Amino acid sequence: MLLSIKQYGDAVLRAKSAPVQQPYDEHESLVQNMIETMYAAEGIGLAAPQIGLNIRLVVIDIPKDEADEAGESEPEEMISVNGEQMPLSSIMPLVFVNPELEPYGKQGLFMEGCLSVHELRSNVARPLHLRAKLTKLDGTVLEIDCGGILARCLQHEVDHLDGFLFTDRVSSAGKLTLAKKLKRLMEYR
Ligand SMILES: [Zn+2]
DSSP 18: B
User: Is 76 one of the annotated active-site residues of the chain?
Assistant: no
Q: Three-class SS of residue 58?
A: strand
The C-alpha atoms of residue 74 and residue 99 are separated, in whole angstroms, by 28
On the question of pLDDT at 120 being above 80, the answer is: yes
Q: DSSP assignment of 78-147, as one string?
A: EEEETTEEEEGGGG-SEEEEEEEEEEEEEEEEEEEEETTEEEEEEEEEEEEEEEEEEE-TTS-EEEEEE-
Higher pLDDT residue, 188 or 86?
86
On the question of pLDDT at 67 being above 90, the answer is: no
Structural domains for the chain = 11-188 (3.90.45.10)
Q: 24: CA distance to ligand 1 center in Å?
A: 23
For residue 101, the Cα-to-chain-centroid distance in whole angstroms is 12
- Average pLDDT score over residue span 20-24: 97
Q: 35: CA distance to ligand 1 center in Å?
A: 14
Q: 154: CA distance to ligand 1 center in Å?
A: 10
How many other C-beta atoms are found inside a 10 Å radius of the C-beta of residue 98?
A: 19
Sheet holding 117-135, edge to edge: 45-47, 57-60, 94-114, 117-135, 141-146, 78-81, 84-87
For the chain, give the percent of residues with pLDDT over 90: 80
8 A C-beta contact, residue 12 and residue 49: yes
Higher pLDDT residue, 31 or 71?
31
Phi, psi of 5 (to 5 degrees): -95, 120
pLDDT digits (tens, 9 = 90+) for 148-184: 999 999 999 999 999 999 999 998 888 888 888 888 8
How many other C-beta atoms are found inside a 10 Å radius of the C-beta of residue 13?
A: 21
Q: Which of 26, 112, 143, 157 is catalytic?
A: 157
**pLDDT band for position 26 (50/70/90)?**
very high
User: Which residue, among 96, 27, 101, has the nearest Cα to 58 in the 3D structure?
Assistant: 96
What b-and-e string marks burial along 126-156, b requiring 16 or more CB atoms within 10 Å of the CB?
Answer: bbbbbebebbebeeeeeebbbbbbbbbbbbb
Q: 7: CA distance to ligand 1 center in Å?
A: 10
DSSP 37: H
